[in-house]
Amino acid sequence: MKPVFSLEINEKWLKMGFPQSAKADGSVDEKVKVLSVTGLKDDQIIEAIKEVCRGLKIKSGSVILSLPRNQVIVRNVHLPSKDEIEIQQMISLHVGRIVPYRKEDSVYSYKILGRDDRRYTKAMIAIVHQDVIRRLDAIIEAAGFFVEDIFLSSYGSLGYVIDKCKNDINPADVNLILEIDSSYVDFIAFSDNKVLYSRSIPVEVTQIFQETGMKKLFGEIRQSLVIFHSEETSKKPARIYVMGARVNIADFVKTLEKELEIPVKTISFEAQKDVSFPQFLSVAAVKAFMAQEKTGPVMRFLIPEIQIRKSLNERAKELMILGGLILFFIMALGGIFTTRIYHQQAYLEKLQSRNKDIFLSVGDALEQSRKVDFVKGVLTSRKVPMAFLNRLFKIMPKETAIKSVSLDKDKKIVLRGEARELSDVFKFVGELEKASYITDVRTKSTRRRKVQDKEITDFELSFVLTGDLR
């Protein structure tokens, strides 16, 4: 099913993109609604969405969510591997080191960008706290809709630029996008249809057109270029595309072109009848996602419960279609073998009653199945760590202490702790290697440090669980 609108919510603004009508060239003329949400609670935001949809006579359907770039952590990494499974494991480790919170509380996505000069794999990782997605999902569900997909806004911005300027973009060139929004500027480097680098520059739009604010922004842009050249490519950008805020930016563009010695092109949003929104906002992402203008690989963010709900919705639609086809077939047979109106009416009432019972039964079965699967998954995930800790403390020497234990989905354990002597660490490693349910025991690091008048040894071990601990 085609999404009925796209949505982006930041700290101050709610942006919604709607399909309006088809143009002669086959593209979509999209409509945008922007509302201030400063100081509003979530239930007030929900009512605002409902009010907009009532005005446009939209009652239900799927929604595309755009995650604002300033709410997402994005990093470029170079990984010494070509194996897809190894790359996934390395990226998972990088996520834990990048985020300032627990890795388990994050939702991340990544895209492979190619190979560097050392034949390392280049990748871009985008990470967001799962509470951000859960909040947006709850708002959409309470408004009567469901989430179809969640994308990073930078990909919508790139899609918008490619759609408007495809005739003057050379796929072999590296180009830049400066998307000016109310509270930040999204610095995007791209080539062909790939985002190569993205950095959120925190600067208010009102500051950009003042001398101090402009100097600050130019300094951040230069720093972003230095980082991009050091991490990805030293190739000079062919052009800078400036878009977003519709305020007078002629002086800014002129200074930018002079300072960086790179040609600059501005992209303005098309005027819409009976639609107005603040001139210091960018709506490129919601317009592009609604018009399906996301070209090339994009980053998706979906938590398990959203994926399950999406699958159940699709299955329910299939069952409804199947039930409708069955009902139509039975009614057709009834019409062939029944000649009297009385018999036709009796068959129709009977079939409708039966069809209702089937739908109620199927809906209840789906709900019970979902609950059972969820409970089984939670119980299984809880048993493994508890069983492991029970076994671990039985074989752990008294001279050692465990400070942290991490377990990933592949049952790989990373264990950090301290011991009185280095020999105690080796003793612990020997006990681990004897365990039948453990393999691939490795000593990743050991380090001695002094605490008061004593020396202790910090250590880090890794191994893999191979047996059933239940």
Instruction: Give the tens place of pLDDT for each residue, 322-351.
Output: 777 777 777 766 666 666 666 667 777 887
Q: Are residues 198 and 107 in the same domain?
A: yes
Radius of gyration (C-alpha) of the chain in whole angstroms:
28
Q: Is the pTM of this model over 0.85?
A: no
Q: Are residues 86 and 173 in the same domain?
A: yes
Q: Are residues 159 and 27 in the same domain?
A: yes
Estimate to the nearest angstrom the gap between the alpha carbon of 180 and the chain centroid: 21
Q: What are phi and psi of 336, to 5 degrees?
A: -70, -45
Which pLDDT belongs to residue 27? Answer: 55
> Which tokens go with 158?
């790139």
Domain containing residue 440: CATH number: 3.30.1360
Low-confidence ranges of the chain (pLDDT < 70): 1, 20-30, 246-248, 269-277, 292-297, 305, 307-320, 332-344, 358-369, 371-385, 467-470
Which pLDDT belongs to residue 340? Answer: 64
DSSP 72: S
Is 335 inside a domain boundary?
yes
Q: Are residues 409 and 352 in the same domain?
A: no
Residue ranges making up the domain that contains 417: 396-465
Domain containing residue 238: CATH number: 3.30.420.380
C-beta separation of 88 from 82 below 8 A: no
Q: Are residues 405 and 358 in the same domain?
A: no
Domain count, the chain: 3
Which pLDDT belongs to residue 187? Answer: 96
Q: Which of 375, 376, 369, 462 is nearest to 414 (CA)?
A: 462
The dihedral built from the CA positions of residue 149, 177, 191 and 99, taken in this order, carries a sign that is negative
Which pLDDT belongs to residue 274? Answer: 45
382, 408, 432 - which closes a domain: 382
